Amino acid sequence: MLRVVVCVSGGGTNLQAIIDGIARGAVCNTEIVKVVSNNPGAYALERAKRAGIEGVCVSPKKYESRELFEDALLGCVEEAAPDLIVLAGFMVKVPEKMIKRYENRIINVHPALIPAFSGTGYYGLRVHEAALARGVKITGATVHFVNEDMDAGPIIMQKAVEVYDGDTPEVLQKRVMEEAEWVILPWCINLIAAGQVKVENGRVTVVE
Ligand code: GAR
């Protein structure tokens, strides 16, 4: 069983896609052992509760320094002894210590085709606002391993999504989630659980 900790900050629709994927057998050999949020009001925590998964909030507001918050976050994750950490709409810069400790064992879903609309300042709705402002005709989502550079780790999977005239950021966000994020995130976890994802020289290959 692949022990997965899912880190969240908001609505948790990607968390839900993983929960549902496990429930219907599309994601095999995987157990979500804990959901960690930096935001006490995250609806994702409610989703975890409904699915019978332990949900914990580690809020930066409760710590005197960033370092203390980061230590608490790492401690909370480590307690669950995960094989994989999934960032599913987690709006916190992952502490360096955590990245070192879990090299090639942290994945993130990003709502664009990296390297487009990625890096510092590109998160959530802002990504779709930028895509629309640039007038791209195709966008999508990316699942990648997390390294010390923002949105720059080895890419595991990407899926393209069309942009239509008249799209608003909200409409585009929804299409990217439905057509890409909720598909490729559970899919990647299933591949990792099956031991099919190899990282070599910063590149990912999916083996049979
Ligand atoms: C998702 O679109 C996810 O790709 C994005 O935040 C949203 C969270 O939604 N993540 C980032 O922008 C990270 N850079 P959710 O809470 O409903 O899964």
Note the pLDDT tens digit of each residue in 34-60. 999 999 999 999 999 999 999 999 999
Q: Ligand 1 centre and the CA of 180: distance in Å?
A: 12
Q: Which residues line ligand 1 (CB under 6 A)?
A: 8, 10-14, 44, 88-89, 109-111, 123-124, 127, 177, 181
Report the pLDDT value the prediction gives residue 25, as an integer from 0 to 100: 98
Q: Ligand 1 centre and the CA of 75: distance in Å?
A: 24
Report the pLDDT value the prediction gives residue 179, as an integer from 0 to 100: 98
Q: Mean pLDDT of all residues in the chain?
A: 98
- The confidence band for 165, taking pLDDT boundaries of 50, 70 and 90, is very high
Helices (H) and strands (E) in the chain, counts: 7, 9
Report the pLDDT value the prediction gives residue 166, as an integer from 0 to 100: 97
Mean pLDDT of 9-30: 98
Distance between CA 31 and CA 40 in Å, rounded?
23
Residue nearest to atom 9 of ligand 1 (CA): 89
Report the pLDDT value the prediction gives residue 39, as an integer from 0 to 100: 98
Report the pLDDT value the prediction gives residue 199, as an integer from 0 to 100: 97
Report the pLDDT value the prediction gives residue 27, as an integer from 0 to 100: 98
Report the pLDDT value the prediction gives residue 102, as an integer from 0 to 100: 98
Report the pLDDT value the prediction gives residue 200, as an integer from 0 to 100: 96
Distance between CA 48 and CA 6 in Å, rounded?
10
Distance between CA 53 and CA 158 in Å, rounded?
28
**Is 110 considered catalytic here?**
yes
Distance between CA 35 and CA 88 in Å, rounded?
10
Give the number of the atom of ligand 1 that is nearest the alpha carbon of residue 177. Answer: 2
Q: Ligand 1 centre and the CA of 190: distance in Å?
A: 20
Phi/psi of residue 87, nearest 5 degrees:
-90, 110
Q: Are strands 155-162 and 84-87 parallel, antiparallel or unpaired?
A: unpaired
Q: What pTM was computed for the model?
A: 0.98
Q: Domains in the chain, please, with CATH?
A: 1-102 (3.40.50.170)
Report the pLDDT value the prediction gives residue 136, as an integer from 0 to 100: 98
Q: Ligand 1 centre and the CA of 135: distance in Å?
A: 21
Catalytic residue among 110, 128, 144, 175: 110
* CA-CA-CA-CA dihedral for 128, 132, 133, 137, to nearest 10: 130
Handedness of CA 38, 43, 46, 51 (dihedral sign): negative
